[in-house]
Amino acid sequence: MSSGTAVTPAWLSEPMRLLAAAHAAGRMPHALLLHAAAGRGGEWLAIWTAELVLCKARTQPRPCGSCPGCLRAREMRHPDLLAVGLPEESQQIRIDEVRALGAELQLTSHEGGYKVAIIAPADALNRFAANALLKTLEEPPARTLLVLVAAQPSRLPATLRSRCQRIAVPSPSRAQALAWLEGSRGPGPWSAVLDLIGEAPFAAAELDPAAVARLCEETRRLLEEMRSGTADPVTTAERWARSELALRLACVENWLTERIRRGLGAATDATELGASAHSRSPDSVMNTRRLFASLEGARELKAALATPINRALALESVLRSMRA
């Protein structure tokens, strides 16, 4: 976990203003719940908040960004900054991690100020871990700040949510996302990357935009060949399952969605709608119901990538459904 860049995301300016004002007025809560969709800066804002309370320059309302406190917090090296995330090859944060965190928060801070703990993704806390965290929230040590980052806060117990001040992290506009990506990563076909993964600039920043463009071009070409019956679904599925499958499935979703829209658009413009389920788009030979079924299959596979499934076999089924 790291802020990764000092470039300020414009769409986070209002949450930052609110947090800075609360800190300056001595009203910083002991627990924050940042509701942030994946890739939109929730963890960045959490680390910025840690900088805010750990900053050594007390003369300004916002973190200075250059003192030892800010620099070490940004790099997640501050002795009074703790972090809990998903263990490797796990989909849950377990009770042991939360108990260890609670014990550490009970200790005196190294520098005599705040102790900060960031839990991300907090919606990955299992039931026992959430209950253990609740005990810490019920009796928080003095000058302690817990920052929870969650894309789905509803997965957390209501008793836990009620003890946190909730801040919604807004979605960036396309212009804001592109400006941040170019400022932090430099020029590139970022708009094409966002077209693929959605308005998630922090997720986009982890990718090579040129490599993504090449992968999408190859994927779309093979999908056209699959539709015409000239590509082998078995060979293609085996190769895709070993390389960037999540990105390829996003390409598949976009490709299918485009064709569904074409078919539905053509059907809407028709003067008579018959009972046929076939798209009226002249460049499509695929059945509309089959398109929807393929799209559903692709989305189900994408959602199941973190589970121990046979990826190649599941992908082969999706590709076979696309053949004309």
User: What domains can you pick out in the chain, each with its CATH number?
Assistant: 10-171 (3.40.50.300), 208-322 (no CATH)
Its pTM stands at 0.84
Cβ neighbours, 10 Å, residue 284: 19
Predicted confidence at residue 2, as pLDDT, reads 54
Question: Tokens standing for 23?
Answer: 């800190």
3-class secondary structure per residue, the chain: CCCCCCCCCHHHHHHHHHHHHHHHCCCCCCEEEEECCCCCCHHHHHHHHHHHHHCCCCCCCCCCCCCHHHHHHHCCCCCCEEEECCCCCCCCECHHHHHHHHHHHCCCCCCCCCEEEEECCHHHECHHHHHHHHHHHHCCCCCEEEEEEECCHHHCCHHHHCCCEEEECCCCCHHHHHHHHHHHHCCCCHHHHHHHHCCCHHHHCCCCHHHHHHHHHHHHHHHHHHHHCCCCHHHHHHHHHCCCHHHHHHHHHHHHHHHHHHHHHHHHHCCCCCCCCECCCCCCCCEHHHHHHHHHHHHHHHHCCCCCCCHHHHHHHHHHHHCC
User: What's the confidence (pLDDT) of residue 286?
Assistant: 55
Dihedral pair phi/psi, residue 61, rounded to 5°: -75, -20
Give residue 91's pLDDT. Answer: 87
CA atoms of 146 and 144, how far apart (whole Å): 7
Tokens 């000239």: give the residue.
Answer: 230
| Separation in Å, CA 125 to CA 43, 128, 302 | 16, 8, 22
Mean pLDDT by 10 residues, the chain (324 residues): 71 96 94 96 97 87 91 96 90 95 94 95 96 94 95 96 96 96 94 93 95 93 91 94 93 92 65 42 60 92 89 94 77
Confidence at residue 106, expressed as pLDDT on a 0 to 100 scale: 93
Please give the pLDDT value at position 275: 40
